[in-house]
Amino acid sequence: MAAVDVTTGRDIPADVQDFLDGAGVLVIDGEERAASGGATFDTVDPASEEVLASIPQATEDDVDAAVQAAKRAHLDGRWRTLPAAKKARILFKVGDAIQKQAESIAWVDMLDHGKPHKHAMGEMIAAANCFRYFAGWVDKVYGDTIPVRDGRFVYSTREPVGVCGQIIPWNFPFLMAAWKIAPALAFGNTVVLKPAEQTPLSALWLIRILKECGVPDGVANLVQGVGEVTGAALVAHPDVDKIAFTGSTEVGKMIMRSAADNLHKVTLELGGKSPNLIFPDAGDISRVAKKAAFACFYNAGEVCTAGTRLVVDRSIHDEVVEQVAKAADATKVGPGWADDTAMGPLVSDEQLQRVKGYIDIASGEGAELVAGGGQPEEYEKGFFLRPTVFDGVVTEMRIAQEEVFGPVLAIQSFDDEDEAIALANDVSFGLAAAVWTRDVGRAHRVAGAIKAGTVWVNTYGELDNPVSFGGFKQSGIGRELGPHAVEAYTQVKSVWVATS
């Protein structure tokens, strides 16, 4: 087969190219600058393997400068004490600016991560709406008056936590930055954000939008670099008041250990191995199978909530497997700029090797490969992988227990509802799950029995800003989005007043 040139159709818009040319900066106290040590690292386009930009590797000194800037901004109240209506107006403006520039920012995330442009566009709109949602919260957080006894007037207030160190992964670069920064600012905090080294680019676009829309210098700072250096320095910094982390469970545990030294407040959004349960009364099997494939292969399977375990009633098993394998084979793998691409490359060669390693492990454990299993042959370059499906998976296999973070689906079977629930819960994670059934009683019964922070019924993967999101078990601590974000980014003060 003749090799396909993946760069065909990659006509980078002029504003995106200008952005890439100037993307090698940190942002500390409103100033865009190089790292103090002068070291840099490259970020690449995972479809073409070309270098997109050279990014400064922040040192411990740079992280300290960013934290001190955020601390000064917190203490002098340049953001916190602005009238609520003004803060809200600025955050609404940020939402509108993101929406207006969505096409271009989506190009940046597509190039840096590999995802299809149309999918990145959906994330941009979600990010714009995240700022709008939290803009609406600015003047709606207040305390209580608490009747205690005569002669005492007691009230509570909700205050910002202070300086928030925010560390994010590479699967939804811009959206994760929005999920972190929007609530932190809405509740009056200041931030230092560290994006993942694989996708450092689009966070800079957001920081620039914040400045243009009137967020004062020093309120939102950006440091770049590898987790072990930049991330670790942020987590260990004594002047950080809170760490908000999204990433792997393994690093989440390290962060929690490290944060113990300073008793930083910590919220963790971690990994998953989410079960997708199909009962025989689910309805049109071919439709459900297509949705199940999408639930696993969307964003090349690099989704914390990906439905990576398909748990199917034995009576419909053969039909489901056939349809899911068909959907996997029909998924068009290609570069994000091609209109017909349904799935882009994996984010990096390291991730590709990791996922291929899991494919070998699953085969070695005796799981049966029914679709994919390797790289598409038509591309000479790029970290592409075909959507892969394993049948005959049992709970004891690593492929049933560990997060692969790639387009690899494991199919398990059950005989009755109790076994389905037991299989669903028999992992250390508890991020999400789905139930497909037309029996309303069963739908609620199973949703209630599954240990996960989100359960979908007859749908998969839906999230929205008003709906709180987070993990049970080893999938995390705390909730993002929705009203529970108030808990994550404020702290309560009780005030006692002697009135006599």
Active-site residue set = 269, 304
Of these partners, ligand NAP, Mg ion, none, which one is at the site of residue 207 (CB under 5 to 8 Å by kind)?
none
In angstroms, the CA 310 to CA 276 distance is 5
231 binds ligand NAP (CB under 6 A): yes
CA distance 480 to 488: 7
Q: Pick out residues in 296-315 that bind ligand NAP (CB under 6 A).
A: 304
Q: Candidates 8-16, 161-169, 282-290, 332-340 — which segment interacts with ligand NAP by CB under 6 A?
A: 161-169
Which partner from the list ligand NAP, Mg ion, none does 313 bind, CB cut-off 5 to 8 Å by kind? none
CA separation for the pair 165, 150 (Å, rounded): 43
Cα 408 to Cα 400: distance, rounded to the nearest angstrom: 11
Site for Mg ion, residues 188 to 247, rule: CB under 5 A: 198
State which of residues 43, 274, 413, 474 lies at the interface with Mg ion (CB under 5 A).
43
Binding of ligand NAP at residue 270 (CB under 6 A)?
yes
Rounded to the nearest whole angstrom, what is the least distance from the CB of residue 198 to Mg ion in the complex? Answer: 5
CB-wise, 271 or 392, nearer to ligand NAP? 271
Amino acid occupying residue 141: V
Q: In the complex with Mg ion, which residue's Cβ is closer, 24 or 183?
A: 24
CA separation (Å) from 116 to 56, 341, 345? 27, 6, 9
When asked if residue 218 is in the footprint of ligand NAP (CB under 6 A), the reply is no
Are 288 and 316 a contacting pair, CB within 8 Å?
Answer: no
Residue in the structure block whose two tokens are 């916190």: 80
Any contact of residue 112 with Mg ion (CB under 5 A)?
A: yes
- 3-state SS, residue 387: coil
Q: Which is nearer to ligand NAP, 68 or 299 (CB)?
A: 299
Q: Given the DSSP bridges, would you call strands 152-160 and 145-146 parallel, antiparallel or unpaired? A: antiparallel
Q: How far is the CB of 321 from ligand NAP (least distance, A)?
A: 26
The residue whose two tokens read 């292969």 is 297
CA–CA distance, 3 with 9 (Å, rounded to integer): 15
Compute the distance between CA of residue 20 and CA of residue 7 in angstroms, rounded to an integer: 17
Give the span between the Cα atoms of 110 and 25, in whole angstroms: 20
478 binding partner (options Mg ion, ligand NAP, none; Cβ < 5 to 8 Å by kind)? none
Q: Is 331 in the site for Mg ion (CB under 5 A)?
A: no
State the residues that interact with ligand NAP by CB under 6 A. 167-171, 194, 196-197, 226-228, 231-232, 235, 246-248, 251, 254-255, 269-272, 304, 403, 405, 431, 471, 476
State the residues that interact with Mg ion by CB under 5 A. 43, 112, 198
